[in-house]
């Protein structure tokens, strides 16, 4: 799957991923109105609205991009109907030929991480049968519990030829509270916690290599370009998933050091900046009815921004 991701990035020339994080505030009124008329102002109605919203955006941008990243929390907040909309979105994106990165940020003790890995990337054995469940291509994983919380994901990835992105340095303002602490490592040297986690990502990934890149990638926020440069060196084989572009503040020019010299090795996510583009002054002329066209324009602009930055570095 990491090879497929690299191929798609080369083919589209777009090292970007669209974050399908359908907060109801982003969904145009006409979509919500139609869904509520059918299902009421209920979790079922909200789930229908976000599904229709997603579908319109995916239809408008699928040929431009290699991958999408649905944020499961935005579906989980609508309970069971929301989870069904999540699964429907994953399947629809697959039908459209897109790679799906499930932004699930799971992580637990070994036996429990195994269940999460099965849920999102693997197959569950039931009696004499096997079943795929949520069936994303990649999942994001939280490293706080250490190797035995991460390795069950790697074991499933080995069987399924899928991948993970481990949280290393997250894009949020308080990510430094623990991640930036100077820690004393086993070798007695001092480094930042995110560097130590990055070293582990490199070690975990050495064992599960695709062509040039590992199936074990990392999440490093666009809002921390200097840390991106450092982590690029610590984890030379890891694909870096870079959230925080656009609405959270990251810009193409800040991101060149997340990439390798050949323009690979990183994939930049934008969520609100794409899916709610019609709410942005820049794309407001599209209006809510043509929200998906606004999203397409925003994707084109984002690709141009990042390509330009990579060409001019």
Segment 114 to 143, residues that bind a copy of itself, using CB under 8 A:
115-116, 118-120, 124-129, 131, 133-134, 142-143
Q: Which is nearer to a copy of itself, 135 or 305 (CB)?
A: 135
CA proximity to 152, closest of 117, 119, 125: 117
Regarding 42 and contact with a copy of itself (CB under 8 A), the answer is yes
**Which residues, listed in sequence order, are joined to residue 20 by a DSSP beta bridge?**
70
Site string for a copy of itself, 244-263 (x = CB under 8 A): --------------------
125 among known catalytic residues: no
Length of the chain in terms of residues written: 313
Total binding residues toward a copy of itself, as defined by CB under 8 A: 74
Residue 180 Cβ, how far from a copy of itself at the closest point, in Å?
Answer: 9
Encoded tokens for 57: 């955006």
Residue 311 Cβ, how far from a copy of itself at the closest point, in Å?
Answer: 30
Q: Given 3-state DSSP classes, what are the helix, strand and coil percentages for the chain, each rounded to the nearest 5?
A: 55, 20, 25
Q: Which is nearer to a copy of itself, 72 or 277 (CB)?
A: 72
Regarding 193 and contact with a copy of itself (CB under 8 A), the answer is yes
H runs (alpha helix) in the chain: 2-12, 29-39, 43-61, 73-76, 79-95, 110-121, 147-160, 176-179, 193-206, 225-234, 272-275, 291-311
Site string for a copy of itself, 147-166 (x = CB under 8 A): xxx-----------------
Using CB under 8 A, which of 1, 3, 4, 23 touches a copy of itself?
A: 23
Per the CB < 8 A criterion, the answer to whether 189 and 200 are in contact is no
Using CB under 8 A, which of 83, 253, 264, 290 touches a copy of itself?
A: 83
Regarding 235 and contact with a copy of itself (CB under 8 A), the answer is no
Q: How many CB atoms lie within 10 A of CB 284?
A: 12
Regarding 111 and contact with a copy of itself (CB under 8 A), the answer is yes
Say which of 88, 105, 169, 237 is annotated catalytic. Answer: 105
Rg of the chain over all Cα atoms, to the nearest angstrom: 19
Indicate the pairing of strand 123-126 with strand 16-20.
unpaired
Q: Which is nearer to a copy of itself, 190 or 285 (CB)?
A: 190
Cα separation of the two ends of the chain:
29
Residues 265-304 that bind a copy of itself (CB under 8 A): none
User: What are the residue numbers of the active site?
Assistant: 105
């Amino acid at each position: 799957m990491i090879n497929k991701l690299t191929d798609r990035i080369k083919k589209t020339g777009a090292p970007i991923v669209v974050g399908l994080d359908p907060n109801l505030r982003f969904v145009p009124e006409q979509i919500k109105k139609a869904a509520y008329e059918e299902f009421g102002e209920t979790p079922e109605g909200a789930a229908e609205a976000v599904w229709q919203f997603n579908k319109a955006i995916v239809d408008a941008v699928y040929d431009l991009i290699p991958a999408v990243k649905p944020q499961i929390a935005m579906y989980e907040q609508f309970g069971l109907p929301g989870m069904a909309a999540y699964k429907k979105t994953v399947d629809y994106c697959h039908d459209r030929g897109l790679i799906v990165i499930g932004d699930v940020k799971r992580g637990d003790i070994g036996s429990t991480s195994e269940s999460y890995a099965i849920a999102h990337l693997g197959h569950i054995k039931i009696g004499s049968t096997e079943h795929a469940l949520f069936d994303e291509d990649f999942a994001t994983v939280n490293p706080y519990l250490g190797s035995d919380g991460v390795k069950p994901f790697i074991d499933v990835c080995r069987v399924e030829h899928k991948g993970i992105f481990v949280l290393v340095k997250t894009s949020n303002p308080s990510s430094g509270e623990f991640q930036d602490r100077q820690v004393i490592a086993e070798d007695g040297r001092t480094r930042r916690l995110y560097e130590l986690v990055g070293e582990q990502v490199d070690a975990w990934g050495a064992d599960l290599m695709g062509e040039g890149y590992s199936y074990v990638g990392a999440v490093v926020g666009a809002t921390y370009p200097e840390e991106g440069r450092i982590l690029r060196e610590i984890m030379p084989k890891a694909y870096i998933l870079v959230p925080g572009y656009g609405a959270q503040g990251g810009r193409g020019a800040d991101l060149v050091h997340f990439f390798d010299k050949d323009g690979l090795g990183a994939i930049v996510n934008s969520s609100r900046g794409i899916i709610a583009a019609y709410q942005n002054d820049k794309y407001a002329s599209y209006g809510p009815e043509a929200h998906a066209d606004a999203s397409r324009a925003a994707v084109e602009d984002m690709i141009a921004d990042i390509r330009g930055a990579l060409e001019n570095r």
